[in-house]
Structure 1
Amino acid sequence: MKGLLIAIQFLTRLPTPRLAAVSSAEFAGAMRWFPAVGLLVGAIVAAAAWGGARLDGWSGALLALLLWVGVTGALHLDGLGDIADARGAAHKDRDRMIAVLSDPHVGSFAVVAIVLQLVAKLVLLHALIEAQAFLAIALVPFAARTGPLVWSRWLPDLHAGLGSRFRGGVRIGDLLLWGVLLAAASCWSPALLATPLFLLGWGWWLRRAIGGVSGDGHGAGIEVTESLSLFAALLWLQVA
Protein backbone atom coordinates (compact mmCIF):
# COMPACT_ATOMS: atom_id res chain seq x y z
CA MET A 1 0.00 0.00 0.00
CA LYS A 2 2.89 2.38 0.69
CA GLY A 3 4.11 1.87 -2.86
CA LEU A 4 0.70 2.89 -4.20
CA LEU A 5 0.69 6.05 -2.07
CA ILE A 6 4.20 6.93 -3.29
CA ALA A 7 3.08 6.43 -6.89
CA ILE A 8 0.00 8.61 -6.37
CA GLN A 9 2.12 11.35 -4.82
CA PHE A 10 4.64 11.19 -7.65
CA LEU A 11 2.23 11.02 -10.59
CA THR A 12 -0.63 13.19 -9.38
CA ARG A 13 -1.56 16.21 -7.30
CA LEU A 14 -4.19 14.29 -5.37
CA PRO A 15 -4.09 14.62 -1.56
CA THR A 16 -2.62 11.60 0.24
CA PRO A 17 -1.58 10.82 3.80
CA ARG A 18 1.83 12.10 4.78
CA LEU A 19 4.47 9.40 4.47
CA ALA A 20 7.58 8.88 6.55
CA ALA A 21 10.98 8.84 4.87
CA VAL A 22 10.92 6.93 1.58
CA SER A 23 13.92 4.79 0.72
CA SER A 24 15.37 4.56 -2.78
CA ALA A 25 14.16 0.97 -3.04
CA GLU A 26 10.62 1.97 -2.06
CA PHE A 27 10.63 4.83 -4.56
CA ALA A 28 11.82 2.53 -7.35
CA GLY A 29 9.27 -0.12 -6.42
CA ALA A 30 6.47 2.43 -6.63
CA MET A 31 6.67 2.17 -10.42
CA ARG A 32 4.87 -1.17 -10.13
CA TRP A 33 1.80 0.81 -9.13
CA PHE A 34 1.84 3.27 -12.03
CA PRO A 35 -0.95 1.48 -13.96
CA ALA A 36 -3.10 1.50 -10.82
CA VAL A 37 -2.65 5.26 -10.59
CA GLY A 38 -3.69 5.36 -14.24
CA LEU A 39 -6.98 3.70 -13.30
CA LEU A 40 -7.55 6.41 -10.69
CA VAL A 41 -6.73 9.19 -13.15
CA GLY A 42 -8.92 7.57 -15.79
CA ALA A 43 -11.89 7.33 -13.42
CA ILE A 44 -11.61 11.05 -12.63
CA VAL A 45 -11.27 12.03 -16.30
CA ALA A 46 -14.18 9.82 -17.40
CA ALA A 47 -16.39 11.13 -14.57
CA ALA A 48 -15.60 14.70 -15.63
CA ALA A 49 -16.37 13.84 -19.24
CA TRP A 50 -19.69 12.28 -18.26
CA GLY A 51 -20.65 15.17 -16.00
CA GLY A 52 -19.69 17.87 -18.49
CA ALA A 53 -21.50 16.04 -21.27
CA ARG A 54 -24.77 16.76 -19.44
CA LEU A 55 -24.33 20.23 -20.95
CA ASP A 56 -22.80 19.29 -24.32
CA GLY A 57 -19.97 17.25 -25.79
CA TRP A 58 -17.45 20.07 -25.94
CA SER A 59 -18.10 21.05 -22.33
CA GLY A 60 -17.48 17.47 -21.32
CA ALA A 61 -14.29 17.29 -23.35
CA LEU A 62 -12.97 20.55 -21.95
CA LEU A 63 -13.77 19.63 -18.34
CA ALA A 64 -12.18 16.21 -18.79
CA LEU A 65 -9.04 17.73 -20.29
CA LEU A 66 -8.75 20.35 -17.57
CA LEU A 67 -8.99 17.71 -14.87
CA TRP A 68 -6.60 15.43 -16.77
CA VAL A 69 -3.96 18.17 -16.76
CA GLY A 70 -4.81 19.36 -13.26
CA VAL A 71 -4.77 15.96 -11.58
CA THR A 72 -1.42 15.04 -13.14
CA GLY A 73 0.07 18.50 -12.63
CA ALA A 74 1.08 18.59 -16.33
CA LEU A 75 3.94 16.29 -15.31
CA HIS A 76 3.93 14.27 -18.51
CA LEU A 77 3.32 17.30 -20.72
CA ASP A 78 6.55 18.73 -19.33
CA GLY A 79 8.38 15.58 -20.47
CA LEU A 80 6.79 15.83 -23.90
CA GLY A 81 7.92 19.43 -24.23
CA ASP A 82 11.48 18.64 -23.15
CA ILE A 83 11.76 15.77 -25.65
CA ALA A 84 10.38 18.00 -28.42
CA ASP A 85 12.87 20.76 -27.62
CA ALA A 86 15.80 18.35 -27.45
CA ARG A 87 15.03 16.68 -30.77
CA GLY A 88 14.02 19.87 -32.52
CA ALA A 89 16.90 22.04 -31.40
CA ALA A 90 19.79 19.57 -31.27
CA HIS A 91 18.95 16.39 -33.14
CA LYS A 92 22.40 16.16 -34.78
CA ASP A 93 24.49 16.68 -31.63
CA ARG A 94 23.88 14.16 -28.84
CA ASP A 95 25.78 16.12 -26.18
CA ARG A 96 23.80 19.24 -27.04
CA MET A 97 20.59 17.21 -27.00
CA ILE A 98 21.29 15.98 -23.46
CA ALA A 99 22.03 19.56 -22.40
CA VAL A 100 18.72 20.77 -23.84
CA LEU A 101 16.89 17.99 -22.00
CA SER A 102 18.35 19.30 -18.75
CA ASP A 103 17.50 22.93 -19.54
CA PRO A 104 14.43 24.09 -17.55
CA HIS A 105 13.54 26.73 -20.16
CA VAL A 106 10.74 26.08 -22.66
CA GLY A 107 11.47 26.49 -26.36
CA SER A 108 9.25 26.86 -29.39
CA PHE A 109 9.33 23.13 -30.17
CA ALA A 110 8.00 22.36 -26.69
CA VAL A 111 5.21 24.91 -27.02
CA VAL A 112 4.09 23.51 -30.37
CA ALA A 113 4.20 19.90 -29.11
CA ILE A 114 2.22 20.66 -25.96
CA VAL A 115 -0.40 22.72 -27.80
CA LEU A 116 -0.87 20.04 -30.44
CA GLN A 117 -1.15 17.37 -27.73
CA LEU A 118 -3.82 19.31 -25.85
CA VAL A 119 -5.78 20.01 -29.03
CA ALA A 120 -5.57 16.36 -30.06
CA LYS A 121 -6.84 15.18 -26.69
CA LEU A 122 -9.67 17.72 -26.68
CA VAL A 123 -10.89 16.70 -30.13
CA LEU A 124 -10.59 12.96 -29.42
CA LEU A 125 -12.31 13.29 -26.05
CA HIS A 126 -15.19 15.13 -27.71
CA ALA A 127 -15.58 12.42 -30.33
CA LEU A 128 -15.54 9.64 -27.72
CA ILE A 129 -18.02 11.52 -25.54
CA GLU A 130 -20.37 11.85 -28.50
CA ALA A 131 -20.10 8.06 -28.88
CA GLN A 132 -20.78 7.60 -25.14
CA ALA A 133 -17.46 5.74 -24.83
CA PHE A 134 -16.76 6.75 -21.23
CA LEU A 135 -15.29 3.38 -20.25
CA ALA A 136 -12.81 3.59 -23.12
CA ILE A 137 -11.76 7.04 -21.86
CA ALA A 138 -11.34 5.73 -18.32
CA LEU A 139 -9.01 2.91 -19.40
CA VAL A 140 -6.65 5.02 -21.53
CA PRO A 141 -4.55 6.46 -18.65
CA PHE A 142 -4.22 2.95 -17.21
CA ALA A 143 -2.94 1.51 -20.48
CA ALA A 144 -0.48 4.37 -21.02
CA ARG A 145 1.04 3.97 -17.55
CA THR A 146 2.06 0.40 -18.26
CA GLY A 147 4.63 1.97 -20.59
CA PRO A 148 7.23 3.02 -18.01
CA LEU A 149 7.33 -0.54 -16.68
CA VAL A 150 8.25 -1.79 -20.16
CA TRP A 151 10.66 1.01 -21.04
CA SER A 152 12.55 0.84 -17.75
CA ARG A 153 13.20 -2.88 -18.28
CA TRP A 154 14.04 -2.56 -21.98
CA LEU A 155 15.92 0.68 -22.60
CA PRO A 156 19.24 1.92 -21.21
CA ASP A 157 19.30 4.99 -18.99
CA LEU A 158 19.96 8.16 -20.94
CA HIS A 159 21.64 9.75 -17.94
CA ALA A 160 21.67 9.56 -14.17
CA GLY A 161 18.44 11.26 -13.19
CA LEU A 162 14.94 10.74 -11.90
CA GLY A 163 14.10 8.12 -14.50
CA SER A 164 17.18 6.06 -13.68
CA ARG A 165 16.05 5.75 -10.07
CA PHE A 166 13.30 3.39 -11.24
CA ARG A 167 15.82 0.99 -12.76
CA GLY A 168 15.42 -2.38 -11.11
CA GLY A 169 12.13 -1.49 -9.47
CA VAL A 170 10.06 -3.51 -11.94
CA ARG A 171 10.04 -7.30 -11.91
CA ILE A 172 9.05 -9.66 -14.71
CA GLY A 173 6.08 -10.69 -12.60
CA ASP A 174 4.86 -7.09 -12.55
CA LEU A 175 4.95 -6.95 -16.34
CA LEU A 176 3.05 -10.21 -16.60
CA LEU A 177 0.43 -9.13 -14.06
CA TRP A 178 -0.33 -5.80 -15.70
CA GLY A 179 -0.16 -7.41 -19.14
CA VAL A 180 -2.87 -9.87 -18.10
CA LEU A 181 -4.98 -7.07 -16.64
CA LEU A 182 -4.52 -5.02 -19.81
CA ALA A 183 -5.70 -7.98 -21.87
CA ALA A 184 -8.69 -8.40 -19.56
CA ALA A 185 -9.53 -4.71 -19.87
CA SER A 186 -9.62 -5.10 -23.64
CA CYS A 187 -12.85 -7.06 -23.19
CA TRP A 188 -14.50 -3.72 -22.43
CA SER A 189 -12.35 -1.62 -24.77
CA PRO A 190 -10.88 -3.80 -27.56
CA ALA A 191 -8.75 -0.92 -28.84
CA LEU A 192 -6.46 -1.52 -25.84
CA LEU A 193 -5.06 -4.50 -27.73
CA ALA A 194 -3.06 -1.96 -29.75
CA THR A 195 -1.28 -0.71 -26.62
CA PRO A 196 1.76 -3.03 -26.95
CA LEU A 197 2.35 -1.66 -30.45
CA PHE A 198 2.33 1.90 -29.14
CA LEU A 199 4.67 1.05 -26.27
CA LEU A 200 7.12 -0.83 -28.47
CA GLY A 201 6.99 1.91 -31.10
CA TRP A 202 7.81 4.61 -28.57
CA GLY A 203 10.61 2.54 -27.06
CA TRP A 204 12.10 1.91 -30.49
CA TRP A 205 11.94 5.64 -31.31
CA LEU A 206 13.59 6.59 -28.00
CA ARG A 207 16.44 4.16 -28.56
CA ARG A 208 16.99 5.31 -32.14
CA ALA A 209 16.46 9.05 -31.76
CA ILE A 210 17.47 9.76 -28.16
CA GLY A 211 19.67 6.82 -27.22
CA GLY A 212 17.87 5.75 -24.06
CA VAL A 213 15.15 6.62 -21.60
CA SER A 214 14.89 9.27 -18.91
CA GLY A 215 12.10 10.76 -16.85
CA ASP A 216 11.25 12.99 -19.82
CA GLY A 217 11.10 9.98 -22.10
CA HIS A 218 8.70 8.22 -19.75
CA GLY A 219 6.47 11.28 -19.47
CA ALA A 220 6.44 11.98 -23.18
CA GLY A 221 5.72 8.33 -23.88
CA ILE A 222 2.71 8.38 -21.58
CA GLU A 223 1.33 11.43 -23.37
CA VAL A 224 1.89 9.97 -26.84
CA THR A 225 0.39 6.63 -25.82
CA GLU A 226 -2.67 8.34 -24.36
CA SER A 227 -3.38 10.22 -27.58
CA LEU A 228 -2.80 7.14 -29.73
CA SER A 229 -5.03 5.09 -27.43
CA LEU A 230 -7.83 7.66 -27.63
CA PHE A 231 -7.54 7.59 -31.42
CA ALA A 232 -7.51 3.78 -31.46
CA ALA A 233 -10.66 3.70 -29.33
CA LEU A 234 -12.38 6.09 -31.70
CA LEU A 235 -11.24 4.11 -34.73
CA TRP A 236 -12.54 0.88 -33.21
CA LEU A 237 -15.95 2.45 -32.64
CA GLN A 238 -16.05 3.53 -36.28
CA VAL A 239 -15.13 0.17 -37.77
CA ALA A 240 -16.73 -2.23 -35.26
Structure 2
Amino acid sequence: MRALLVAIGFLTRLPVPAYAYDDVRAKAASLVWYPLVGVLIGLLLGVLAWLLRDTSTMLSSALLVTAWVAVTGALHLDGLADSADAWIGGMGDREKTLAIMKDPRSGPAGVVALVLTLLLKFAALASLGPAPWAAVLLAPLLSRASLVALFLTTPYVRSGGLGTALVDAPRRACVIALMVTVAVCMPFGGRGLLVLVLAAAVFGLWRHACLNRLGGCTGDTAGALAEMVEVAVLVGLALR
Protein backbone atom coordinates (compact mmCIF):
# COMPACT_ATOMS: atom_id res chain seq x y z
CA MET A 1 0.00 0.00 0.00
CA ARG A 2 2.92 2.37 0.58
CA ALA A 3 3.94 1.97 -3.04
CA LEU A 4 0.44 2.94 -4.15
CA LEU A 5 0.48 5.96 -1.85
CA VAL A 6 3.86 7.03 -3.27
CA ALA A 7 2.47 6.75 -6.80
CA ILE A 8 -0.60 8.82 -5.87
CA GLY A 9 1.53 11.42 -4.12
CA PHE A 10 3.96 11.75 -7.01
CA LEU A 11 1.51 11.74 -9.92
CA THR A 12 -1.25 13.82 -8.34
CA ARG A 13 -1.75 16.59 -5.82
CA LEU A 14 -3.96 14.41 -3.67
CA PRO A 15 -2.71 14.33 -0.06
CA VAL A 16 -0.96 11.16 1.14
CA PRO A 17 0.70 10.38 4.50
CA ALA A 18 4.30 11.56 4.73
CA TYR A 19 5.51 8.21 6.08
CA ALA A 20 4.87 6.59 2.69
CA TYR A 21 7.98 8.25 1.27
CA ASP A 22 10.32 6.79 3.88
CA ASP A 23 10.48 3.35 2.26
CA VAL A 24 12.98 3.19 -0.63
CA ARG A 25 11.46 -0.05 -1.89
CA ALA A 26 8.04 1.57 -2.00
CA LYS A 27 9.41 4.31 -4.28
CA ALA A 28 10.67 1.70 -6.73
CA ALA A 29 7.50 -0.40 -6.54
CA SER A 30 5.31 2.68 -7.05
CA LEU A 31 5.86 2.35 -10.81
CA VAL A 32 3.63 -0.74 -10.79
CA TRP A 33 0.70 1.39 -9.64
CA TYR A 34 1.02 4.16 -12.21
CA PRO A 35 -1.79 2.80 -14.45
CA LEU A 36 -4.11 2.56 -11.43
CA VAL A 37 -3.37 6.17 -10.56
CA GLY A 38 -4.25 6.99 -14.17
CA VAL A 39 -7.60 5.27 -13.63
CA LEU A 40 -8.09 7.30 -10.44
CA ILE A 41 -7.42 10.53 -12.32
CA GLY A 42 -9.81 9.41 -15.05
CA LEU A 43 -12.55 8.61 -12.55
CA LEU A 44 -12.20 12.02 -10.91
CA LEU A 45 -12.43 13.70 -14.31
CA GLY A 46 -15.35 11.46 -15.25
CA VAL A 47 -17.27 12.53 -12.16
CA LEU A 48 -16.60 16.16 -13.02
CA ALA A 49 -17.73 15.57 -16.61
CA TRP A 50 -20.94 14.04 -15.30
CA LEU A 51 -21.55 17.00 -12.98
CA LEU A 52 -21.00 19.36 -15.92
CA ARG A 53 -23.15 17.37 -18.37
CA ASP A 54 -25.75 20.15 -18.63
CA THR A 55 -23.14 22.89 -19.00
CA SER A 56 -22.15 24.22 -22.41
CA THR A 57 -19.60 21.96 -24.09
CA MET A 58 -17.04 24.73 -24.46
CA LEU A 59 -17.15 25.68 -20.78
CA SER A 60 -17.22 22.11 -19.51
CA SER A 61 -14.23 21.22 -21.69
CA ALA A 62 -12.27 24.20 -20.37
CA LEU A 63 -13.12 23.25 -16.79
CA LEU A 64 -12.10 19.63 -17.43
CA VAL A 65 -8.71 20.68 -18.78
CA THR A 66 -8.25 23.03 -15.82
CA ALA A 67 -9.12 20.26 -13.36
CA TRP A 68 -6.80 17.89 -15.23
CA VAL A 69 -3.89 20.28 -14.75
CA ALA A 70 -4.82 20.97 -11.13
CA VAL A 71 -5.11 17.34 -10.03
CA THR A 72 -1.75 16.44 -11.60
CA GLY A 73 0.04 19.62 -10.58
CA ALA A 74 1.18 20.19 -14.18
CA LEU A 75 3.93 17.64 -13.47
CA HIS A 76 4.14 16.21 -16.97
CA LEU A 77 3.49 19.55 -18.63
CA ASP A 78 6.68 20.78 -17.01
CA GLY A 79 8.57 17.84 -18.51
CA LEU A 80 7.04 18.52 -21.91
CA ALA A 81 8.12 22.18 -21.85
CA ASP A 82 11.66 21.31 -20.75
CA SER A 83 11.93 18.61 -23.42
CA ALA A 84 10.69 20.93 -26.18
CA ASP A 85 13.22 23.61 -25.24
CA ALA A 86 16.03 21.08 -24.97
CA TRP A 87 15.23 19.26 -28.20
CA ILE A 88 15.38 22.45 -30.23
CA GLY A 89 18.05 24.31 -28.28
CA GLY A 90 20.25 21.23 -27.93
CA MET A 91 20.72 21.09 -31.71
CA GLY A 92 21.44 17.37 -31.66
CA ASP A 93 24.06 17.53 -28.92
CA ARG A 94 23.46 15.16 -25.98
CA GLU A 95 25.17 17.15 -23.23
CA LYS A 96 23.64 20.45 -24.32
CA THR A 97 20.20 18.86 -24.47
CA LEU A 98 20.55 17.50 -20.92
CA ALA A 99 21.83 20.86 -19.68
CA ILE A 100 18.88 22.77 -21.13
CA MET A 101 16.46 20.32 -19.52
CA LYS A 102 17.85 21.24 -16.10
CA ASP A 103 17.22 24.95 -16.68
CA PRO A 104 14.06 25.89 -14.72
CA ARG A 105 13.20 28.63 -17.18
CA SER A 106 10.90 27.99 -20.15
CA GLY A 107 11.88 29.20 -23.60
CA PRO A 108 9.67 29.88 -26.63
CA ALA A 109 9.58 26.24 -27.71
CA GLY A 110 8.42 25.13 -24.28
CA VAL A 111 5.69 27.75 -24.15
CA VAL A 112 4.46 26.83 -27.63
CA ALA A 113 4.43 23.14 -26.70
CA LEU A 114 2.32 23.87 -23.61
CA VAL A 115 -0.15 26.06 -25.49
CA LEU A 116 -0.59 23.54 -28.30
CA THR A 117 -1.01 20.64 -25.88
CA LEU A 118 -3.68 22.37 -23.79
CA LEU A 119 -5.40 23.64 -26.93
CA LEU A 120 -5.55 20.18 -28.47
CA LYS A 121 -6.89 18.67 -25.24
CA PHE A 122 -9.58 21.34 -25.01
CA ALA A 123 -10.57 21.03 -28.67
CA ALA A 124 -10.69 17.24 -28.49
CA LEU A 125 -12.86 17.24 -25.36
CA ALA A 126 -15.16 19.83 -26.89
CA SER A 127 -15.48 17.69 -30.03
CA LEU A 128 -16.38 14.63 -27.97
CA GLY A 129 -19.46 16.38 -26.59
CA PRO A 130 -20.95 16.55 -23.09
CA ALA A 131 -20.09 12.96 -22.10
CA PRO A 132 -16.42 12.24 -22.89
CA TRP A 133 -16.18 9.61 -20.16
CA ALA A 134 -14.28 7.00 -22.17
CA ALA A 135 -11.73 9.60 -23.26
CA VAL A 136 -11.04 10.99 -19.79
CA LEU A 137 -10.57 7.46 -18.47
CA LEU A 138 -8.43 5.98 -21.24
CA ALA A 139 -6.14 8.98 -21.78
CA PRO A 140 -4.67 9.17 -18.24
CA LEU A 141 -4.62 5.38 -17.98
CA LEU A 142 -2.53 4.88 -21.13
CA SER A 143 -0.43 7.93 -20.36
CA ARG A 144 0.71 6.48 -17.02
CA ALA A 145 1.02 2.98 -18.46
CA SER A 146 3.39 4.37 -21.09
CA LEU A 147 5.68 5.50 -18.27
CA VAL A 148 5.78 1.95 -16.96
CA ALA A 149 6.77 0.71 -20.41
CA LEU A 150 9.38 3.46 -20.76
CA PHE A 151 11.18 2.65 -17.51
CA LEU A 152 10.98 -1.06 -18.26
CA THR A 153 12.64 -0.78 -21.67
CA THR A 154 14.78 2.36 -21.64
CA PRO A 155 17.95 3.28 -19.72
CA TYR A 156 17.60 6.19 -17.30
CA VAL A 157 20.43 8.62 -18.00
CA ARG A 158 19.94 11.36 -15.40
CA SER A 159 22.05 10.62 -12.33
CA GLY A 160 20.10 11.52 -9.18
CA GLY A 161 16.95 12.44 -11.12
CA LEU A 162 13.39 11.92 -9.92
CA GLY A 163 13.13 8.68 -11.86
CA THR A 164 16.24 7.08 -10.41
CA ALA A 165 14.32 4.94 -7.91
CA LEU A 166 11.97 3.66 -10.61
CA VAL A 167 14.79 1.83 -12.36
CA ASP A 168 14.58 -0.86 -9.67
CA ALA A 169 10.84 -1.42 -10.05
CA PRO A 170 9.78 -5.10 -10.00
CA ARG A 171 9.71 -6.05 -13.67
CA ARG A 172 7.21 -8.91 -13.48
CA ALA A 173 4.68 -6.79 -11.59
CA CYS A 174 5.15 -3.97 -14.12
CA VAL A 175 4.50 -6.35 -17.03
CA ILE A 176 1.34 -7.54 -15.31
CA ALA A 177 0.26 -3.93 -14.85
CA LEU A 178 0.69 -3.35 -18.59
CA MET A 179 -1.29 -6.48 -19.39
CA VAL A 180 -4.11 -5.32 -17.12
CA THR A 181 -4.04 -1.96 -18.89
CA VAL A 182 -4.58 -3.67 -22.24
CA ALA A 183 -7.40 -5.74 -20.72
CA VAL A 184 -9.11 -2.58 -19.43
CA CYS A 185 -9.07 -1.10 -22.94
CA MET A 186 -10.55 -4.18 -24.64
CA PRO A 187 -14.21 -3.71 -23.51
CA PHE A 188 -14.22 -0.38 -25.34
CA GLY A 189 -14.09 -2.27 -28.65
CA GLY A 190 -12.80 -0.32 -31.62
CA ARG A 191 -12.07 2.71 -29.50
CA GLY A 192 -9.98 0.64 -27.12
CA LEU A 193 -7.95 -0.85 -29.97
CA LEU A 194 -7.49 2.58 -31.54
CA VAL A 195 -6.10 4.19 -28.39
CA LEU A 196 -3.78 1.24 -27.76
CA VAL A 197 -2.34 1.59 -31.26
CA LEU A 198 -1.97 5.36 -30.88
CA ALA A 199 -0.30 5.07 -27.48
CA ALA A 200 2.07 2.38 -28.76
CA ALA A 201 2.97 4.51 -31.81
CA VAL A 202 3.73 7.61 -29.74
CA PHE A 203 5.71 5.52 -27.26
CA GLY A 204 7.79 3.87 -29.99
CA LEU A 205 8.57 7.10 -31.83
CA TRP A 206 9.48 9.07 -28.71
CA ARG A 207 11.56 6.24 -27.22
CA HIS A 208 13.48 6.00 -30.51
CA ALA A 209 14.10 9.76 -30.47
CA CYS A 210 15.30 9.67 -26.85
CA LEU A 211 17.66 6.77 -27.51
CA ASN A 212 19.12 8.53 -30.55
CA ARG A 213 19.61 11.87 -28.79
CA LEU A 214 20.31 10.90 -25.17
CA GLY A 215 20.95 7.18 -25.11
CA GLY A 216 17.96 6.78 -22.82
CA CYS A 217 15.30 8.75 -20.98
CA THR A 218 15.04 11.34 -18.21
CA GLY A 219 12.20 12.47 -15.97
CA ASP A 220 11.49 15.32 -18.37
CA THR A 221 11.27 13.07 -21.41
CA ALA A 222 9.00 10.75 -19.42
CA GLY A 223 6.73 13.70 -18.68
CA ALA A 224 6.73 14.67 -22.34
CA LEU A 225 5.75 11.11 -23.29
CA ALA A 226 2.84 11.16 -20.84
CA GLU A 227 1.48 14.40 -22.31
CA MET A 228 1.93 13.26 -25.92
CA VAL A 229 0.10 10.01 -25.25
CA GLU A 230 -2.80 11.88 -23.63
CA VAL A 231 -3.08 14.22 -26.60
CA ALA A 232 -2.89 11.35 -29.11
CA VAL A 233 -5.63 9.40 -27.33
CA LEU A 234 -7.96 12.39 -27.00
CA VAL A 235 -7.45 13.60 -30.57
CA GLY A 236 -7.74 10.07 -31.95
CA LEU A 237 -11.06 9.50 -30.18
CA ALA A 238 -12.32 12.89 -31.30
CA LEU A 239 -11.44 12.17 -34.94
CA ARG A 240 -12.88 8.66 -34.91
Structure 2 portions without partners, runs of 5+: none
Alignment partner of 1:201 out of 202, 205, 209: 205
Q: Deviations over 1:43-97 (max 9, x none)?
A: 1222223323311111110111000000000000000000001011112322111
Structure 1 residue aligned with 2:36 = 36
Greater displacement, 178-187 / 49-58: 178-187
Counterparts in 2 of 1:21 and 1:209: CA distance versus 1, 3 Å:
closer
Structure 2 residue aligned with 1:55 = 55
How far did residue 23 of structure 1 move?
Answer: 2.6
Which secondary structure state, in structure 1, belongs to the residue aligned with residue 208 of structure 2? Answer: helix
Structure 2 residue aligned with 1:158 = 157
Structure 2 residue aligned with 1:72 = 72
Contact kept? 2:125, 2:132, Cα under 8 Å: no
Supply the distance in 2 between the matched residues of 1:228 and 1:37 (Cα, whole angstroms): 19
Q: Deviations over 1:134-155 (max 9, x none)?
A: 1232221011101111111211
Contact kept? 1:6, 1:27, Cα under 8 Å: yes
Q: Deviations over 1:150-189 (max 9, x none)?
A: 1112111222111222102141342234323323323224
Q: Deviations over 1:94-153 (max 9, x none)?
A: 2111111111111111111111111111101111235x3312322210111011111112
Structure 2 residue aligned with 1:127 = 127
Contact kept? 2:21, 2:27, Cα under 8 Å: no
Contact kept? 1:128, 1:137, Cα under 8 Å: no
Q: Which amino acid aligns with 2:196?
A: L
Counterparts in 2 of 1:96 and 1:60: CA distance versus 1, 3 Å:
same
Contact kept? 2:6, 2:30, Cα under 8 Å: yes
Supply the distance in 2 between the matched residues of 1:170 and 1:82 (Cα, whole angstroms): 29
Supply the distance in 1 between the matched residues of 2:20 and 2:179 (Cα, whole angstroms): 31
Structure 1 residue aligned with 2:181 = 181
Q: Which structure 1 residue ranges, 4+ long, deviate > 6 Å from structure 2?
A: none
Supply the distance in 2 between the matched residues of 1:119 and 1:21 (Cα, whole angstroms): 35
* Matching of residue 138 in structure 1 with residue 142 in structure 2: no
Give the length in aligned residue pairs: 235
Counterparts in 2 of 1:115 and 1:170: CA distance versus 1, 3 Å:
farther
Structure 2 residue aligned with 1:192 = 195
Counterparts in 2 of 1:231 and 1:50: CA distance versus 1, 3 Å:
same
Contact kept? 1:57, 1:129, Cα under 8 Å: yes
How far did residue 20 of structure 1 move?
Answer: 5.0
Which secondary structure state, in structure 1, belongs to the residue aligned with residue 14 of structure 2? Answer: coil
Supply the distance in 1 between the matched residues of 2:110 and 2:18 (Cα, whole angstroms): 34
Supply the distance in 1 between the matched residues of 2:74 and 2:98 (Cα, whole angstroms): 22
Counterparts in 2 of 1:139 and 1:233: CA distance versus 1, 3 Å:
same
Q: Which amino acid aligns with 2:67?
A: L
RMSD: 1.7
Q: Deviations over 1:188-215 (max 9, x none)?
A: 2423331323322221222123331111
**Percent identity at matched positions?**
33
Supply the distance in 1 between the matched residues of 2:21 and 2:112 (Cα, whole angstroms): 39
Which secondary structure state, in structure 2, belongs to the residue aligned with residue 64 of structure 1? Answer: helix
Supply the distance in 2 between the matched residues of 1:234 and 1:21 (Cα, whole angstroms): 39
How far did residue 235 of structure 1 move?
Answer: 2.9
Q: Deviations over 1:3-25 (max 9, x none)?
A: 11111101110122342552322
